[in-house]
Structure 1
Amino acid sequence: MTSTEESRTALVTPQMREQYENDGYFILERALSDEQLELLRGGAQYSMDKLDAAMEEAGTDRIGINARGKRYFSHMIYRDRPELRQFLFSELMREICRATLGEEAYLFWEQYVIKAGDPDTAFAWHQDSGYVHEDHAPYLTCWIALDDVTEENGSVYLRPYSRSGIRSYVKHIPDPRVNDLVCYFGDDPGMPVTVPAGSIAVFSSVVMHRSGPNLTDRLRRVYLAQYSKEVIMTKDGSKPWGEFEQFLAGGEVVGRIDVD
């Protein structure tokens, strides 16, 4: 390994790589620069406004798993806010993808997950893969805290492989009240991820996780960047399920970061 390669992989340690392999996750505290954090925060309000407008037009307070004034899962905002590409195809994300997926990576999905202060903002136990289908290789989730995350404001809770005994897709059951898909009904509360703003919880799409309600009077904002080692197709194989823009080829960035 050259000195340049060593500097590029300094953030993700060999111990973190091993933890991802054995338990499906690792945590990077304060990984974002101040500029990156402000860039991602810049799209948060826009993402909420976009969903509020859609709910207003539809004459409803719920669309899918979104609830007006409570919780928002607004995806593919980077299409409207192309400046977000600077982060999605950054050196930071390159290093994380290489450490987890390998030398080839595609942008799969992107979304803001925002909770207002409301006791009805919890999110049920699930795997990210549970919202796709069972016929795909596990992909990578980067759960990026845009605010300090505590158990009081809606921390994510993980069930690592060693805790759940599961490292593959499991069947999910819909919750008819809030539209969540649920894969675990046991008593394990999970491992809380309480981190300062700018931190990243890096985990596999088959790691079970949930999040608690936001019981504060402030927003809890998270940005999700998800990558796959190959283009994930719909179950019938007719088209890509999410995005299919290549990020890495041979370990090098090929995704465009410039803003038109």
Structure 2
Amino acid sequence: MVLVTDEMREQYRDEGYFVLERVLTDEQLELLRGGARYSIDKLDAAFDEAGVDRIGINARGKRYFSTMIYKDRPELREFLFGDTMAEICRATLGADAYLFWEQYVIKAADPDTSFAWHQDSGYVHEDHEPYLTCWIALDEVTEENGAVYLLPYSRSGIRSYVKHIPDPVRNDRVAYFGSDPGIPMTAPAGSIVVFSSVVLHRSGPNLTDRLRRVYLAQYSGEIIMTKDGSEPSGSFERFLVDGRVAPELAGGS
């Protein structure tokens, strides 16, 4: 069965995003939720060790951004380099793809958990081709618990990297100060919001009494180097080569 339709491909090209509802299996959800629990525990331990309640954009009991958890939990590779993500990458990036970045974004029940308008590219630098973000809902996402809001290309007028201004209090990077609220991406658990790294987006606070857990898997069609060109700026394990899963991932077949 085709996961990404021609209409979705066209929408990604014209507006920068599409949504796949309820595409994860129960087993995949259980796998990713286990990683979410681990990611919270890991950051809480880091807070304890440093004797602080904030590290970068992380805030104890409020919001957690845990990166490269798959390196601690290798079982996550089954999902990151599996058939679902392969089809999404082919439909958006083309025949070649690398795993660029991976992280959990978890919001606890707290009104101070919103995230400012930004592009994912704004957390890299201006000299790269747009990459792919797969925003994977591990819980039902509503406007009350912190949905992501997108500004499609036709509403923002922006299709490339723009300068971001740091927020001195929250450590967010901000790229849009207009009045358009964006389109809320409300979705059931197991859904994937697929969007380009140059699409402007934000997320609201979690005003409920339960966690809102999201898994981010990001892929690129090229190796993005750091701004000084000294090293890759992310993971960059090969995933697709000429449309096929890289031999090292497929057991050499």
TM-score by length of 1: 0.95
Give the unaligned 5+ runs of structure 2.
none
SS at match of 1:17: helix
Match of 2:23 among 28, 31, 42: 31
Q: Distance in 1 between matches of 2:118 and 2:112?
A: 17
| Partner Cα distance (1:64, 1:235) in 2 | 20
1:83 aligns with 2:75: yes
Spell out the pairing of 1:85-124 with structure 2 (5 A cutoff): 85-124=77-116
Match of residue 175 from structure 1: 167
The Cα of 1:225 is off from its aligned counterpart by 0.2
| Cα separation, 1, equivalents of 2:84 and 2:194 | 12
2:242 to 218, 243, 250: 250
Map residues 161-240 of structure 1 onto 2, 5 A cutoff.
161-240=153-232
Aligned mate of 1:43, from 27, 35, 42: 35
The offset of 1:60, in angstroms, is 1.2
Provide the identity percentage: 78
Between the aligned partners of 2:180 and 2:46, the Cα distance in structure 1 is 36
Q: In 2, Cα distance between the equivalents of 1:257 and 1:114?
A: 31
Aligned counterparts of 1:102 and 1:20: Cα–Cα separation in 2: 13
- Between 1:198-207 and 1:247-256, the stretch displaced more is 247-256
In structure 1, C-alpha distance between the alignment counterparts of 2:249 and 2:24, rounded to whole Å: 20
Conserved 8 A contact 1:73-1:114: yes
1:15 and 2:7 aligned: yes
- Secondary structure of 1:43's match? helix
Corresponding residue to 2:152 among 149, 160, 165: 160
Post-superposition, which runs of at least 4 consecutive aligned residues in structure 1 deviate over 3 A?
A: none
Q: Aligned residue for 1:3?
A: none
1:126-169 deviation line (CA, Å, top 9, x unaligned): 00000000001000000000000000000000001011000000
Root-mean-square deviation (CA), in Å?
1.0
1:45 CA displacement: 1.1
Q: What is the TM-score of this pair, normalised by structure 2?
A: 0.97
| Cα distance in 2, alignment partners of residues 249 and 110 from structure 1 | 20
> Where does residue 139 of structure 1 map in the other structure?
131
Cα distance between partner residues in 2 of 1:80 and 1:251: 28
